[in-house]
Amino acid sequence: MTRSLKKGPYVDEKLSKKVANKKPEDGVIKTWARASQISPDMVGFTFGVHNGKEHLEVFVTEDMVGHRLGEFSPTKKFYRHGGKMQKELDQKKKESEIAAAKAAKASANS
């Protein structure tokens, strides 16, 4: 369910004060407020959004207005899908790299 329009967007008070007191060129603004909505006055700033382990830098553009800061700082690292199909793809990739290296070596020796 979306937030009521009469309440307005949620922006952390500390974060809005930091944006008001700084210029976009001043550097990264560190924040743990992943739930804060991006407002139009945040455009051009770079935020260090905490993902649970570290602060990931997010440069705010006009397209991001209305979204949450946490959307641009993933908390989980996607490793890959496993299984037989993935192993076959990895094997083909490795074979093509070996073939390309052999071809490059042969052309260098000629």
| Residue partners of 61: CB distance under 8 A and separation at least 6 | 43
Q: For 30-34, 42-46, 104-108, which range has the lowest pLDDT when averaged over its residues?
A: 104-108
Q: pLDDT-based confidence at 110, cuts 50/70/90?
A: low
The per-residue pLDDT for 34 is: 95
- Per cent of the chain over pLDDT 70 is 99
Cβ burial of 104 (10 Å; 0-12, 13-18, 19+) is exposed
**Tens digits of residue pLDDT in 52-93:** 999 999 999 999 999 999 999 999 988 777 778 888 888 999
For the record, the structure tokens of 38 come out as 């991006």
* CATH class as words, domain 13-72: alpha beta
Instruction: Say if pTM beats, i.e. exceeds, 0.75.
Output: no
The per-residue pLDDT for 85 is: 83
